[in-house]
C-alpha cells in the first residue's frame, strides 16, 4: 500500500517582483485520487480570500420574486403527476419537495429546506438539513420501488450563486436515473476492480490508511469517517466523508443523517471564518447493496480567489479536467480540528 496516495513534487523558477526580483523556486504538488483517475495540482499559497459580500442584502434583493417562498410556492412551482407522487409534492417537517422543471435525469426532486428565505452558512440549522436529507431519501426510495430501470441516485446541494445556484432560497436536489454520471461510473467500476485485485474493500483500506497517517483525518464515529480530500476537486480542499456501514441508500437510518448534518454544519461555520460562503455538496448513494461499495459524500467549498470576483473554475478544471487547489489539504485538516475542538 506504499503507493496508495500517489503524488509528485515539481517547481518553477521565477524572479519575484515582490522580493527585489531575486530568483526563487515555486513548488507545487501533483496528486492522483486513490480510487479514480481524477488528479489535482496544489500550491501551498498564502492567499486570503476576499471579504464576504453583504449576504443580508442578497437575501433581501432575491426574496421578492422567489418561487420557493411559501406565499408564491403553490402558483410558481411544478407538481409531480399523481401516479408518481400523489398530491404532486412531498413534505417532511418544514421541507417541501417539488419536481425540477429543468431535469437532467429521469427524476429530480427539489427539496425546499425551509419556509425562511435565507439561511446563513454560519448559522445553518442542522435539524433543517437533517429533514432535507430524510425527505430526499423518502423520495428516492419511492422512485426506486416504482421504477425498476433506475440504478443511480444522489443528493446534491448548490449553496448560493458561486456554487451554481440560481435561487438563493436553500434547497437540495435528489437525483434518480438510469444513467450514471462519469464520477459514479468510475467509482463503481474502480472499487469493484480494487475488490477483485486486493480481496478487500477499497473503502476499508482507505479508512485504515487515513486513520494511521493522521494527515487528513478529521474525526470518526461508529457510522461516519471524516477527512480532507487528498486530491481536491476545488481551489479549497474538499471535505470527504465515508458512511462506514452503508452500502446503499436503504442502509442509512435517520440518526446517521442527523449526525452527518450536525457535523457538516460545523464545517460550514469553519468555512465562513475563511471568507468562504458557498459550496457544492453531493452524497453518492447506491441502489444495490454491493459488498464493495460505500455511500460517501463530498463537500467542495467555492471561492472567489480575487477581489475582482473571478470564478474558481478556469481552463484547468473546465478544459483539462484537473483540479487546481490553493491550499494544502493537510494544513486545512489541522485548522478544522482546532476549530472544532
Tell whether pTM > 0.85. yes
pLDDT at 1: 64
Asked whether 294 and 246 are in contact (CB, 8 A), the reply is: yes
pLDDT at 305: 87
Helix (H, G, I), strand (E, B) or coil at 51: coil
Smallest CA-to-CA distance from 332 within 247, 226, 193, 211 is with: 226
What are the phi and psi torsion angles at 24 (to 5°)? -135, 160
Mean pLDDT of 119-126: 97
Asked whether 30 and 10 are in contact (CB, 8 A), the reply is: yes
Show the beta-strand stretches assigned E in the chain.
Answer: 6-16, 22-32, 39-42, 90-92, 95-99, 107-112, 152-159, 171-177, 217-220, 224-228, 239-243, 278-286, 296-302, 323-325
CA pseudo-torsion sign 256, 261, 262, 266: positive
Show the beta-strand stretches assigned E in 162-308.
Answer: 171-177, 217-220, 224-228, 239-243, 278-286, 296-302
Answer yes or no: is pLDDT of 293 > 90: yes
324-335 residue pLDDT tens: 999 999 999 999
pLDDT at 290: 85
C-alpha cell at 255: 440518526
Answer yes or no: is pLDDT of 316 > 90: yes
93-110 residue pLDDT tens: 999 999 999 999 999 999
294-303 residue pLDDT tens: 999 999 999 9
22-59 residue pLDDT tens: 999 999 999 999 999 999 999 999 999 999 999 999 99
Show the beta-strand stretches assigned E in 162-310.
Answer: 171-177, 217-220, 224-228, 239-243, 278-286, 296-302
CA–centroid distance for 78 within its chain: 26
Domain extents in the chain: 55-340
Answer yes or no: is pLDDT of 309 > 90: no
**What CATH number has the domain spanning 55-340?**
3.30.428.10
145-192 residue pLDDT tens: 999 999 999 999 999 999 999 999 999 999 999 999 999 999 999 999
List CB contacts of 40: < 8 A, sequence separation 6 or more: 30, 31, 33, 231, 232, 233, 322, 323, 324, 325
CA pseudo-torsion sign 249, 230, 130, 51: negative
pLDDT at 3: 87
Partners of 217 in beta bridges: 227
Helix (H, G, I), strand (E, B) or coil at 12: strand
Answer yes or no: is pLDDT of 2 > 80: no
pLDDT at 318: 96
pLDDT at 225: 98
Amino acid at each position: 500500500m506504499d503507493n496508495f496516495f500517489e503524488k509528485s513534487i515539481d517547481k518553477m523558477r521565477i524572479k519575484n517582483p515582490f522580493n527585489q526580483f531575486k530568483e526563487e523556486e515555486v513548488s507545487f504538488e501533483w496528486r492522483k485520487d486513490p480510487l479514480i483517475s481524477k488528479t489535482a495540482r496544489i500550491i501551498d499559497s498564502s492567499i486570503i480570500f476576499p471579504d464576504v459580500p453583504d449576504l443580508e442584502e442578497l437575501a433581501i434583493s432575491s426574496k421578492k420574486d422567489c418561487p420557493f417562498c411559501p406565499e408564491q410556492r403553490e402558483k410558481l412551482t411544478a407538481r409531480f403527476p399523481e401516479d408518481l407522487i400523489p398530491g404532486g409534492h412531498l413534505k417532511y417537517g418544514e421541507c417541501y419537495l417539488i419536481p425540477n422543471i429543468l431535469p437532467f435525469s429521469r427524476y429530480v426532486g427539489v427539496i425546499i429546506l425551509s419556509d425562511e428565505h435565507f439561511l446563513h452558512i454560519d448559522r445553518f440549522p442542522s435539524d433543517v438539513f437533517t429533514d432535507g436529507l430524510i425527505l430526499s431519501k423518502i423520495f428516492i426510495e419511492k422512485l426506486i420501488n416504482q421504477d425498476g430501470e433506475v440504478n443511480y441516485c444522489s443528493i446534491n446541494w448548490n449553496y448560493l450563486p458561486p456554487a451554481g445556484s440560481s435561487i438563493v432560497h436553500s434547497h437540495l436536489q435528489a437525483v434518480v436515473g438510469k444513467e450514471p454520471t462519469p464520477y459514479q461510473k468510475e467509482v463503481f467500476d474502480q472499487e469493484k476492480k480494487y475488490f477483485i485485485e486486493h480481496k478487500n474493500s477499497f473503502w476499508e483500506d482507505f479508512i485504515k490508511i487515513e486513520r494511521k497517517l493522521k494527515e487528513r483525518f478529521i474525526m470518526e464515529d461508529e457510522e461516519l469517517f471524516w477527512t480532507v480530500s487528498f486530491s481536491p476537486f476545488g481551489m479549497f480542499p474538499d471535505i470527504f466523508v465515508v458512511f462506514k456501514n452503508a452500502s446503499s441508500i436503504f442502509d442509512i437510518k435517520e440518526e446517521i443523517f442527523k449526525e452527518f448534518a450536525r457535523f457538516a454544519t460545523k464545517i460550514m461555520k469553519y468555512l465562513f471564518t475563511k471568507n468562504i460562503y458557498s459550496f457544492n455538496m453531493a452524497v453518492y448513494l447506491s441502489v444495490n447493496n454491493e459488498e464493495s461499495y460505500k455511500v460517501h459524500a463530498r463537500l467542495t467549498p467555492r471561492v472567489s480567489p480575487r477581489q475582482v470576483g473571478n470564478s474558481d473554475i478556469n481552463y484547468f478544471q473546465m478544459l483539462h479536467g484537473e483540479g487546481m487547489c490553493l491550499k494544502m489539504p493537510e494544513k486545512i485538516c489541522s485548522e478544522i480540528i482546532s476549530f472544532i475542538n
